[in-house]
């Protein structure tokens, strides 16, 4: 028996409703490429659950489609930010011995320039093994500094073969405009004593210290630091030659605007 086809012209405009169509009657293969247009899709019909993970790419987004208000707070992480964009976090400043000066009382030696048989000449401050000696230096932290604690590493050497340890301490105090500079340093923090290798003029780098609290820390201040050799916490018999201090501080802004 011949199959009778029903032409579209034989069907009234309102004869076929969505209730008359089985759920699986219309497949992707039966839909023409241009049959479903944006105008035929209601605003609520496309939900995130109906989109494949890779369905919407950058090419499908208008240049103004994603605004700040559309981004949840934890959606953008440091891993998703280009490496050439500066973000707030841990920063360092290196202060060489050449930028330091011995204390008037209980100070270390004056700055020396030491020529070795090869390579660089050293600009260093010598600290005795017999008593605690001190030197000072200043830093003006960037405005992006969070005015919190800092930590440090000491870079030093020993001329000699003794393998004893050297312990370095650091304390700080900050001064804003019109503040009295006649103010004591904060609490001295001593890093773990570092043993010399036993080879004369080897470089020694201490472990990072504990947190150093800076008295008067604030934006737009000048900070004075005092570095000392704590001979009660070390046992190196020779002079310790300080080469520099690396400071670690934390920022809470990406720039100093």
Quick check: is 32 in a domain? no
Quick check: is 46 in a domain? no
Condensed to tens digits (0 to 9), the pLDDT of residues 175-200 reads 999 999 999 999 999 999 999 999 99
Quick check: is 42 in a domain? no
Quick check: is 152 in a domain? yes
Partnered with residue 135 across adjacent β-strands are 102, 227
Count of domains observed in the chain: 1
The predicted pLDDT at position 83 comes to 64
Quick check: is 103 in a domain? yes
Cα dihedral sign, 29-31-37-40: negative
Condensed to tens digits (0 to 9), the pLDDT of residues 125-158 reads 999 999 999 999 999 999 999 999 999 999 999 9
The predicted pLDDT at position 4 comes to 64
CATH number at residue 127: 2.60.120.260
pTM, entire model: 0.72
Question: Domain containing 145: what range?
Answer: 90-250
């Amino acid at each position: 028996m011949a199959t009778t086809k029903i032409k579209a012209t034989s069907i009234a405009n309102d004869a076929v409703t969505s209730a008359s169509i089985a759920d699986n009657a219309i497949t992707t293969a039966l839909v023409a490429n241009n049959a479903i247009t944006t105008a035929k899709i209601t605003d609520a019909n496309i939900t995130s659950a109906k989109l494949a993970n890779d369905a919407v790419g950058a090419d499908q987004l208008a240049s103004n489609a994603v605004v700040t208000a559309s981004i949840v707070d934890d959606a953008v992480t440091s891993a998703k930010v280009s490496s050439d964009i500066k973000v707030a976090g841990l920063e360092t400043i290196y202060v060489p011995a050449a930028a330091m000066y011995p204390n008037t009382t209980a100070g270390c030696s004056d700055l020396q320039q030491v020529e070795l048989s090869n390579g660089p000449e050293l600009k260093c401050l010598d600290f005795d093994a017999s008593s605690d000696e001190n030197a000072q230096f200043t830093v003006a932290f960037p405005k992006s500094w969070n005015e919190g604690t800092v930590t440090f590493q000491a870079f030093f050497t020993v001329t000699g073969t003794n393998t004893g340890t050297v312990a370095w301490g650091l304390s700080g105090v900050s001064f804003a405009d019109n503040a009295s500079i006649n103010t004591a340093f904060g609490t001295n923090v001593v890093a773990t004593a570092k043993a010399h290798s036993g080879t004369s003029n080897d470089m020694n780098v201490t472990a990072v210290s504990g947190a150093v609290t800076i008295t008067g820390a604030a934006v737009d201040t000048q900070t004075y630091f005092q570095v000392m050799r704590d001979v009660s916490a070390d046992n190196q018999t020779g002079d310790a030659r300080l080469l520099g201090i690396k400071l670690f501080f934390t920022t809470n802004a990406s720039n100093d605007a």
